[in-house]
Structure 1
Amino acid sequence: MRRKIIGLALAIGLTGALLGVLGTTGVWQDAAEWAGLDAAAATTSRTSPPPAQTSVEVVTVPDNPARPPNTPGPQPEPQLDKNGKPVCAVDPSYFDKKVDGLKDAAEQAWKRARQAAWEAGLTLCVHDGKRSTAAQQAEFDAALALHGSVAKARQYVLPPEQSLHVKGLAVDVQPRASAAWLERTRGEFGWCRRYANEPWHFEYSAGYQSGGCPELLPHP
């Protein structure tokens, strides 16, 4: 019995000494602080609602964004053949001639039509535009020699004084798909097909933009 009492007394004494050491070194205070924080966190988790979730839209921007569809931008300059002549981009057998010999209004209208065609996926090529009087006369003479009469030749080539090519108000359009596209614009750009036997030949008039294209004539 005495041994038990002595052992209990020793245990109590050791416990007291240990508590004193912990309090002196701060270990006890630190432990109490952590216990208090844990208790506070547990209480908060039981009583406070979770933070609201916010929706964030993530937008990915490509390093090199592509051009939007149907807006290819300015049409590139045509390639040149070995003789320095511009070649139609869709068919190397067609030369894409310059239109700077046309009347100013016709030239600007052609450039607008050309850009619209480019944005539609087509290339308008000028197979023939402004002609000199001598060039038109040579073509008419060749047609006269081929067909044997002025009346017959005029169905294919007009003499210089009547030709809108000479006046700078006509173009021959290549390739055929591009000419067909221009015809479907029905004068929107001031250019209209005029002859049933020449699907490539178009003439300019400012009135076509407001009044549309006139009926086709059978031939020049």
Structure 2
Amino acid sequence: MPSLESARTRPPQSHGAVPDPVTPFDDGAAAVANLDPALLSALRRAATAAAADGVEFRVNGGWRSPEYQEWLFAEAVSRYGSAAEAIRWVATPDTSAHVSGHAVDVGPSAARAWLSEHGTAYGLCQIYRNEPWHYELRPEAVEAGCPPMYADPTEDPRMQR
């Protein structure tokens, strides 16, 4: 059986692929169901509050299997021409917060704007300036505010493994 990388076909939803955005309440999607429970809880509380403001959250990416993350990284290398450029947009499986279920990609733009304004109250912080869709849970942000953003993942010490 060929690896997901060599097959060049999008991995199945059981690996965390999200062919169509889902809601943060869609427990049938592995990308949502396998998120870290604390992140999922914060995301759902924020989505509920945003809905009261007329804003709907969609999950474009969440938990991913290492195989799916490797496939995404290979696709990024192909798209950007090198691993050095791809790493600005897609982490490797051993560094990705998505693989551990600690990151979620949120859309559409109205949801991202809502999170930019209100996410701190839920501990949801944008981590990378170049990825306005990528949020991670920082519980201390509720009291202290979100940490400064990295320009892109290459500045994040967690990516230096």
Q: Which portions of structure 1, spanning 4 or more consecutive aligned residues, are displaced by more than 4 angstroms?
A: none
Query: Does 2:68 correspond to 1:135?
Result: yes
Within the candidate set 122, 125, 145, 1:189 is matched to 122
2: distance between equivalents of 1:94 and 1:214?
A: 31
**Backbone CA RMSD of aligned residues:** 1.8
After TM superposition, give the deviation of residue 169 of structure 1 in Å. Answer: 1.1
Query: Does 2:97 correspond to 1:171?
Result: no
Q: Which runs of 5+ in 2 are unaligned?
A: 1-12, 14-18, 27-31, 154-161
2: distance between equivalents of 1:141 and 1:113?
A: 33
The amino acid across from 1:178 in the alignment is A
Instruction: Name the structure 2 match of 1:154.
Output: 87
Partner of 1:166: helix, strand, or coil?
A: coil
After TM superposition, give the deviation of residue 150 of structure 1 in Å. Answer: 1.9
Aligned positions of 1:50-89 closer than 5 A? none
- Rg comparison, structure with higher value: 1
Structure 1 vs Structure 2: percent identity of aligned residues?
Answer: 37
Partner of 1:185: helix, strand, or coil?
A: helix
Tell me the TM-score normalised to structure 2 length. Answer: 0.74
Q: Which runs of 5+ in 1 are unaligned?
A: 1-84, 86-92
8 Å CA contact 2:61, 2:106 repeated in 1: yes
8 Å CA contact 1:130, 1:170 repeated in 2: yes
Query: Does 2:41 correspond to 1:108?
Result: yes
Instruction: Name the structure 2 match of 1:3.
Output: none
Tell me the TM-score normalised to structure 1 length. Answer: 0.55
8 Å CA contact 2:138, 2:146 repeated in 1: no
Q: Considering Cα pairs closer than 8 Å and 6+ residues apart, tell me whether 1 or 2 has the greater RCO.
A: 2
8 Å CA contact 2:36, 2:102 repeated in 1: yes
